[in-house]
Amino acid sequence: MAYYPSDAVRIAKQEVGYHEKATNADLDSKTANSGSLNWTKYARDLDNINYFNGKKNGPVGEWCAILQCWVQYKLYGDGLSARAALYQPDAKYNCGAGCTWQAGYFRENNAFFTSPQPGDWIFYGVPGDEYHTGGVVEVSGKTVYTIEGNVDNQVLLLAHDITDPSIAGYGRPKYQKNDPCNIYVVKAGDTLNAIADKFDVTAAQIAKENNITNPNVITVGTVLIFKKGSKEWHTTDIFCQFGDRNKAVSMLQGLLLKRGLSLTYDGYFGAETRSAVMAWQSSKGITVDGIVGDETLGTL
């Protein structure tokens, strides 16, 4: 099953501020045990499922590409689907974790481009010798915003001039077309009302979908993800969506289980719950977008 770029960005933005560790301890904490020896929860999780052609956690290697693979793994919920989305070999112990390896996978499958889109992998270096990568969040004018791991030993949101000669190009995972959500990085001088007007939505909608408690205070560099307005997409009020963890998700999961869908009742809207939602939407002949709003709730 394919997912949208906004789904990948929604996962990646939660990782901004994560520090790599000095030892193989406190891997799930964002800042504890900070160090520079490449111990991360990203490599640990992928090592646990034999994702790469060998163990990658710790001093054995850098982790910028590992973070991006982990985002796809969390998106799909399993390594095989993540590798397929990234054009990687599907056999265990046959997938490289380096930037050059991954750029090659994209090129071999005509999925390497000179112009970026949200959800892409950005590569630095020269063809055949890429040395760093990250995930594209937004493209605004001559600026490309990215979330990158292994920068100053942590995960950071960065802004680059799109004409930077060190950028080798962009790899594009297999995403579903017609993303129902906008992705926007807050810039100096922005207000929530101005952003809402730009995208034909309401400030209240953006605030609700991004857990903003005070709409009058937004921070530069905040990554906003919100459903497209009526001029771009037929929209209804969102009840819950991918990445949410709350009572609304628990209610949704209970309803889906009563309707015979298979999923884990855990209050988290992850890959499994999204698959169940999309299967239900398809069975009812309604918009299949994996987002639960009035239309979907009305059929449950």
What is the pLDDT at residue 233?
44
Give the C-alpha separation, 169 to 112, whole Å: 7
Cβ pair 92, 47 in contact under 8 A:
no
Please, what's the b/e burial string for 5-30 (b: 16 or more CB within 10 A of its CB; e: otherwise)?
bbbbbbbbbbbbebbbbeeeebbeee
How far apart (Å, rounded) are the C-alpha atoms in residues 275 and 1? 8
Do 118 and 200 lie in one domain? The reply is: no
* Ordered mean pLDDT values, 10 residues apiece, the chain (300 residues): 88 97 97 96 95 91 94 92 90 76 93 95 94 97 96 97 96 90 95 92 91 92 88 58 86 92 91 91 87 85
- Do 192 and 126 belong together in one domain? no
Please tell me whether residues 208 and 299 are part of one structural domain: no
What is the C-alpha separation between 147 and 13, in angstroms, rounded? 7
Q: How far apart are CA 10 and CA 8, in angstroms?
A: 5
- For residues 195 and 229, state if they share a domain: yes
Instruction: Tokens 């993800």: give the residue.
Output: 225
- How many residues are recorded in the chain? 300
Cα four-point dihedral sign 130, 133, 135, 141: negative
Instruction: Round to whole Å and give the CA distance between 248 and 136.
Output: 30
Pick left, alpha or beta for residue 223 (phi over 0 → left; psi -120 to 50 → alpha; otherwise beta).
Answer: beta
The pTM of the full predicted model, rounded to 2 decimals, is 0.79
Same domain membership, residue 254 and residue 215? no
Domain CATH number, residue 270: 1.10.101.10
Domain boundary among 141, 171, 201: 171
The per-residue pLDDT for 91 is 63
The pair phi, psi for residue 240, each rounded to 5°, is: -165, 165
Q: Are residues 104 and 16 in the same domain?
A: yes
- Least Cα distance to 225 among 5, 3, 6 occurs for 6
| One domain for residues 45 and 126 | yes
Residues 93 and 115 in one domain: yes
Interatomic CA distance for residues 265 and 168, integer angstroms: 43
What's the domain count of the chain? 3
Compute the distance between CA of residue 259 and CA of residue 72 in angstroms, rounded to an integer. 29
Residues 126 and 198 in one domain: no
What is the per-residue DSSP string for 156-190? EEEEEETT-TTEEEEE---B-SS-SEEEEE--TT-
Closest CA to 149 of 132, 136, 128, 137: 132
In the prediction, which pLDDT does 112 show? 95
Task: Tell me, yes or no, whether 266 and 212 share the same domain.
Answer: no
